[in-house]
Amino acid sequence: MVLEFAITNFRSIKNRQVLDFRTSTSTQKKELPENVTNFPQKQYAGNFIKTGIVYGANAAGKSNFLKAFQALEELVVNSDKLKLDKPIPAYDPFLLDPTSRLQPTTFEIEFVAKDKKRYWYELSIEKFRVVKEELCVYPENRISARKAILFSRTVETPLFFGEFYQGKKDFTLNENQLLLSQAGLNAIPTLSEPYRFFSKFLSNAPAHSANFDERMLTYTENLLSNDLEHESFNKAINSLIRAADTGISRLFSQEIEGGQIKLPEEMGEKERQRIIDRFKRRIKTAHPVFENGLEVGEEIFDLSRESTGTMKLVGLATFVVEALRNGSVIIVDELDKNLHPLLTRMIIRLFQSAEFNSNNAQLIFSTHDISLIDKDLFRLDQIFIADKDMEGISSISRLSDFKGITKVKALQKWYTLGMFKGIPAINDYEIDILADQAIV
């Protein structure tokens, strides 16, 4: 679970901005208690929200806050593959200021890994080198909630290991590689669980990525196989699809023989095999067939015949089911895209349910659906607003930061009126559609 995430100098985010997932002191404890964790106060220093929703106008920067999660995740998992003198992909500074475009990008994240320990990780990068990398842990046996350094490195100081670090200490790193990434290559007791948090338990779904959608459906195809290993997942995802009222009675995957896939004869063998491997399993949907009001059988369709919304739901369902079962964090840009508002609410309720989310899985997502600004669904400290000023600088706040709104009932109306910012300032006087047409 993510407890706090801070970003400095990344894309439209110039100044340090913090997404705090702690429950706010201004929000009453009794308000929607199922929406928050019940962590031991001493160990984790508070309770935390299970879902966070991010609003903002187009180009206000809400996607950039979520992309920062993805940039950090991919860097931790893949930096060991960066060759000497190659640029660091996650370095993407604010470019509308001559100074900031030369400054480091910094990520800071506090999280709980699967070993139930609380960690703090800070990373500052330039285009070709790591400026600072530090991983800390909050020891359970300490009276005060002070973090202890596991390792720390900067461009000015050598690699330092703290008293709680265990494992290999002799590393050969390029300037553009992370020490934490080495846990994916070597058995390092102290770093294994922090690394797994990024590699296995933090997942990102971009808003517009055909490659990601394809990967998710490929993954779903494999998980829907009939073997015993995936039986419980098969039942879970089918129950979710049926609950969504898609008209699908069951979902399964079917292996396709290579000879059934028609490919051009002139295609090379390597490319031919790649396509056969990709499409050797296909997701199938079963719909009931009725005659005179009675169910008499079923018709099998390929998933490609279903609506765009159904295909999105199938891929997303894999994300959701795995997160709830494993206690993972999922970041979804535009969760509501191609989904009916009631389906979006269904997914949110799963994460906020003590019954379905007993492992403290977490959902963080962006949306334009203002109907979700609902006090029966979200607490004020769960609703984030991204905004951008005249200089193109993005900032973020929570509704719980605004004073005097705890008793406001018409939050949707206040938002659309711009009381919390985060909406487009539409100027009709700038529209000049008929500029080049002659006046008759």
Share of the chain above pLDDT 70, in %: 87
CA 275 to chain centre: 29
Domains of the chain: 2-201+327-416 (3.40.50), 211-313 (no CATH)
Distance between start and end Cα atoms, the chain: 64
**Mean pLDDT calculated for residue range 359-369:** 94
Side by side, the strands of the sheet bearing 329-332 are 202-205, 329-332, 362-366, 51-56, 383-388, 394-398
Lowest pLDDT segment from 107-116, 213-222, 385-394: 213-222
pLDDT confidence band for 429 (50 / 70 / 90): low
Are 347 and 335 contacting, i.e. CB atoms less than 8 angstroms apart? yes
288 pLDDT above the threshold of 80: yes
Please give the DSSP secondary-structure letter assigned to residue 61.
S
Average pLDDT in the 109-118 region?
A: 95
Query: 205: pLDDT confidence band, cut at 50, 70 and 90?
Result: confident
* Under 8 Å between Cβ of 196 and 202: no
* pLDDT beyond 70 at 275: no
Q: Sign of the CA dihedral 142, 145, 151, 153?
A: negative
Mean pLDDT of the region 227-250: 85
Mean pLDDT of 11-23: 97
- DSSP β-ladder status, 329-332 and 202-205: parallel
Q: Is residue 329 within 8 Å of 1, Cβ to Cβ? A: yes
Q: What is the pLDDT of residues 166-192, one digit of tens each?
A: 999 999 999 999 999 999 998 899 999
Q: Could you report the per-residue pLDDT of 42-101, keeping only the tens digit for each?
A: 778 889 999 999 999 888 999 999 999 999 999 999 999 999 999 999 999 999 999 999
Q: Is the pLDDT of residue 280 over 80?
A: no
Task: Read off the pLDDT of each residue in 370-393 and give the average, rounded to a whole number.
Answer: 93
Residue predicted with more confidence, 411 or 440: 411
Give the residue carrying structure tokens 């056969």: 276
The pTM score is 0.88
Mean pLDDT of 190-219: 84
For residues 29 and 375, the answer to whether their CB atoms sit within 8 Å is: no
**Band of the pLDDT at 195, cuts 50, 70, 90?**
very high
In the structure encoding, which two tokens stand for residue 84, read together? Answer: 């000497």
Token pair of 21 as six digits: 């997932």
For residues 152 and 270, what is the distance between their CA atoms, to the nearest angstrom? Answer: 45
Contact 196, 113 (CB under 8 A): yes
Mean pLDDT for the chain? 87
Q: What is the pLDDT of residue 290?
A: 94
Q: Which is more confident, 285 or 267? A: 285
Asked whether residue 36 carries a pLDDT value surpassing 80, the answer given is yes
Contact 246, 253 (CB under 8 A): no
- Look at residue 44 in the predicted model and tell me its pLDDT: 85
What pLDDT digit, counting tens, does each position of 248-268 carry?
999 988 877 655 566 676 777
User: Mean pLDDT throughout 353-378?
Assistant: 93
